[in-house]
């Protein structure tokens, strides 16, 4: 009966109820988006790092993988030592550099990755095959920038000499595949080639050097324990587990979480105030009815239950509507933010998890409950005889 | 069963003072009244003499500043809110001048409301609501909402609602005050039938016809009883 009364009360002012639900839906959509944003980047970054199953990363001491242009020498010995560690299954070394290619009167700069094709974890082949000596795999953006297709040959050098008006170390390389590069921007021209080929460029300055290495563990190996062993055995490199990397990335994007927290709190406050305002207006309109119910023997707590049920019904209806709205806006916002230059294609800002929807709904339910308690409690505690008398006069 | 004539309700030296604009208004001044089982009491007097205040105190809608209100020996003025509410639910039926039906509920749902609060199972309360509406002559209007009913019909629904939990006592505050003469007469006849069927009635009224229909008329003035006359047994 209380639920039926709550529904009937809401149905009395359909336009007002619909507007309130719409308002709560907007607030809850914002709340859901902010909850998704607060955890989305972390989750997305972790998924990105886990893409190829590498749980530990090595980089020159004091740097993060590809955070600088630093490299570490004596790479073959380093990789061999890493591969010899207990619990290590695969080590994928890579070297990052920039190469240039003549195009028209100018030059096109591309990011180059030197990898070992059999173990590399930097790209997924979309077309063709992995590169052998003298060959390369290019990203779609690189193909577009170079004006080439799979099967074409492209000349790549290490730089442009303005005095000689010539490219340095220009060498032809055949494009044998198209790759989707996980860790570089979708719009960034990237090529991958055998590690030895890239190490041979720059007049030998890159010989036996790598930028980083990824380590895949043997089944059952504990990442933290292997990382500790690697750090002890390889003092020239920093060793990061995926959890460490996520934690470090988390610190770097703390402002996103703070922003999400503030905007989420504002959304929740707006939703709370909206329901409180509506319930206060609604209760004030029904003071006489509430006094009559109390006179007829309805307990104060039942009045509170009814009004709280109304607040809850509004919150749940608005929350469910806001769930759909939030997912649509999150997708739209993600597309806008995803276009930011240099972002890896698999990085998402808004990642939906059922837990997020549960959190947003839970917060709304709490807000809706609290919003109904105060006005209903006040109304239920009004002196019955005096209220009925005032209502009769009114 | 309580034998007819047993003391049911008793107000003992009750005072009710209100603070109004810094002054104390003495609405009731040491009033005493006894109502017996099966009685039909009309309380009359000029506006502002304290009739409605007395009715509120008898029904535990308000508390006296001093004095006691006993229902079958229990001082209902000393009950906490929860117990007083339960007393109103199970022991008293209220009829108001302005009907005070809940507009979003049908006639049957309005009648069923106190039963729902009392924990009567849905099927039973639907049946009793239909029975009560038939009793007040509205058997064909159970699904109508208050806005679809005339004033007299709304007051009949309110009377049916007052009887929902089978109270032995019904308190009515100007039950014909909003009705035309013909409809008022119908309500008076209904009250008469109610009383003959065993319900104790205390009615506050300005309506002389309603007062004449009662067995006993209590005249009030300035917060006190000035005359108490029995018209019939």
State ipTM: 0.93
Q: How many pairs of residues across A and B have Cβ atoms under 8 Å apart?
A: 76
Residue A144 has pLDDT above 80, yes or no: yes
**In a domain? residue B82:** no
Q: What is the CA radius of gyration of chain B?
A: 17
Q: Select the more confidently predicted residue: B8 or A392.
A: B8
What CATH number did the domain enclosing B174 receive? 3.40.50.300
Point out the residue among A8, A296, A389 whose CB comes nearest to the CB of B94.
Answer: A296
CB–CB contact A388 B100 (8 Å): yes
**In a domain? residue B106:** yes
pTM over 0.80: no
Q: What's the Cα-to-Cα distance from A206 to each of A72, A196, A202, A302, rounded to whole Å?
A: 9, 9, 6, 78
**What is the span of the domain harbouring residue B208?**
38-60+88-230
CB–CB contact B117 A386 (8 Å): no
Q: Band of the pLDDT at A118, cuts 50, 70, 90? A: confident
The string of pLDDT tens digits covering residues B59-109 is: 999 999 999 999 999 999 999 999 999 999 999 999 998 889 999 899 999
Q: Which 3-state string (H, E, C) describes chain A?
A: CHHHHHHHHHHHCHHHHHHHHHHHHHHHHHHHHHHHHHHHHHHHHHHHHCCCCCCEEEEECCCCCCCCCCCECCHHHHHHHHHCCCCEEEEEEEEEEEEEEEECCEEEEEEEEEECCCCCCCEEEEEECCCCCCEEEECHHHHHHHCCCCCCEEEEECEEECCCCEEECCEEEEEEEEEEECCCCCCCCEEEEEHHHHHCCHHHCCCCCECEEEEEECCCCCHHHHHHHHHHHCCCEEEEEHHHHHHHHHHHCHHHHHHHHHHHHHHHHHHHHHHHHHHHHHHHHCHHHHHHHHHHCCCHHHHHHHHHHHHHHHHHHHHHHHHHHHHHHHHHHHHHHHCCCCCCCCCCCCCCCHHHHHHHHHHHHHHHHHHHHHHHHHHHCCCHHHHHHHHHHC
Q: Band of the pLDDT at A394, cuts 50, 70, 90? A: low
Per-residue pLDDT at A346: 74
| Among A4, A282, A296, A381, the residue to mutate for chain B (most B Cβ within 10 A) | A296
The string of pLDDT tens digits covering residues A243-272 is: 888 888 788 778 878 888 898 889 888 888
Mean pLDDT, range A368-376, rounded to an integer: 86
Residues 41-70 of B with CB under 8 A from A: 52-53, 56, 59, 61-62
Number of residues assigned to chain A = 394
- Domain regions of chain A by residue span: 2-48+252-393, 62-235
CB–CB contact B97 A392 (8 Å): yes
Point out the residue among A288, A295, A299 whose CB comes nearest to the CB of B82.
Answer: A299
Residue A223 has pLDDT above 50, yes or no: yes
Percentage of chain B surpassing pLDDT 70? 98
Point out the residue among A289, A388, A392 whose CB comes nearest to the CB of B102.
Answer: A289
The string of pLDDT tens digits covering residues B174-213 is: 999 988 988 999 999 999 999 999 999 999 999 999 999 9
Residue B170 has pLDDT above 90, yes or no: yes
The string of pLDDT tens digits covering residues B136-150 is: 999 999 999 999 999
Helix runs in chain B, H state only? 51-58, 81-91, 107-117, 122-135, 151-162, 181-196, 208-213
> How many domains, chain B?
1
Residue A306 to residue A297: CA distance in whole angstroms: 15
**In a domain? residue B44:** yes
Point out the residue among B53, B90, B97 whose CB comes nearest to the CB of A297.
Answer: B90
Residue A105 has pLDDT above 90, yes or no: no
**In a domain? residue B143:** yes
């Amino acid at each position: 009966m209380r639920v039926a009364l709550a529904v009937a009360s809401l149905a009395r002012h359909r336009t007002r109820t619909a507007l309130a639900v719409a308002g709560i839906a907007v607030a809850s959509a914002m709340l859901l988006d902010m909850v998704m944003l607060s955890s989305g980047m972390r989750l997305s970054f972790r998924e990105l790092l886990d893409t190829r199953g590498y749980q530990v990363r090595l980089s020159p001491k004091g740097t993060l993988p590809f955070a600088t242009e630093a490299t570490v020498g004596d790479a073959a010995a380093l990789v061999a030592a890493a591969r010899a560690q207990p619990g290590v299954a695969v080590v994928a070394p890579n070297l990052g550099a920039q190469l240039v290619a003549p195009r028209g009167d100018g030059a096109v700069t591309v990011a180059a990755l030197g990898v070992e094709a059999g173990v590399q974890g930097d790209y997924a082949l979309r077309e063709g095959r992995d590169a052998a000596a003298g060959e390369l795999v290019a990203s779609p953006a690189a193909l577009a920038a170079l004006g080439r297709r799979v099967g074409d040959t492209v000349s790549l050098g290490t730089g442009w000499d303005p005095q000689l008006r010539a490219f340095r170390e220009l060498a032809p390389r055949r494009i044998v595949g198209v790759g989707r590069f996980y860790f570089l921007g979708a719009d960034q021209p990237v090529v991958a080639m055998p590690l030895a080929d890239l190490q041979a460029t720059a007049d030998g300055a890159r010989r036996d050097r790598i930028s980083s290495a990824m380590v895949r563990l043997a089944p059952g190996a504990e990442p933290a324990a292997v990382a500790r062993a690697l750090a002890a055995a390889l003092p020239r490199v920093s060793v990061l587990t995926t959890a460490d990397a996520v934690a470090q990335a988390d610190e770097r994007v703390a402002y996103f979480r703070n922003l999400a927290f503030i905007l989420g709190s504002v959304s929740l406050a707006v939703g709370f105030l909206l329901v409180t305002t509506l319930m206060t207006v609604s209760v004030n309109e029904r003071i006489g009815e509430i006094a009559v119910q109390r006179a007829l023997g309805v307990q104060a707590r039942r009045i509170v239950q009814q009004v709280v049920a109304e607040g809850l019904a509004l919150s749940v209806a608005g929350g469910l509507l806001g769930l759909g709205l939030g997912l649509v806006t999150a997708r739209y916002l993600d597309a806008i933010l995803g276009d930011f230059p240099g972002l890896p294609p698999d990085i998402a800002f808004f990642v939906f998890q059922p837990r997020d929807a549960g959190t947003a709904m839970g917060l709304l339910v709490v807000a809706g409950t609290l919003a109904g308690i105060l006005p209903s409690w006040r109304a239920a505690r009004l002196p019955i005889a005096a209220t009925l008398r005032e209502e009769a006069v009114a | 069963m309580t034998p007819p004539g047993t003391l049911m309700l008793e107000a003992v030296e009750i005072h009710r003072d209100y603070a109004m604009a810094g002054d104390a208004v003495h609405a009731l001044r040491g009033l005493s009244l006894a109502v017996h089982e099966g009685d039909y009491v009309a309380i009359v007097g000029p506006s502002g003499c304290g009739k409605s205040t007395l009715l509120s105190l008898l029904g535990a809608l308000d508390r006296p500043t001093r004095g006691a209100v006993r229902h079958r020996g229990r001082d209902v003025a000393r009950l906490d809110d929860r117990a007083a509410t339960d007393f109103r639910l199970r022991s008293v039926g209220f009829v108001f001048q302005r009907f005070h039906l809940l507009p979003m509920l049908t006639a049957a749902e309005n009648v069923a409301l106190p039963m729902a609060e009392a924990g009567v199972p849905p099927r039973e309360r639907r049946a009793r609501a239909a029975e009560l509406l038939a009793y007040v002559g509205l058997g064909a209007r159970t699904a109508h909402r208050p806005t679809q009913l005339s004033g007299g019909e709304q007051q009949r629904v309110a009377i049916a609602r007052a009887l929902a939990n089978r109270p032995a006592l019904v308190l009515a505050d100007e039950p014909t005050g909003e009705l035309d003469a013909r409809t008022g007469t119908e309500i008076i006849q209904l009250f008469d039938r109610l009383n003959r069927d065993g319900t104790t009635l205390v009615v506050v009224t300005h309506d002389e016809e309603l007062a004449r229909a009662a067995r006993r008329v209590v005249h009030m003035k300035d917060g006190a009883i000035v005359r108490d006359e029995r018209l019939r047994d």
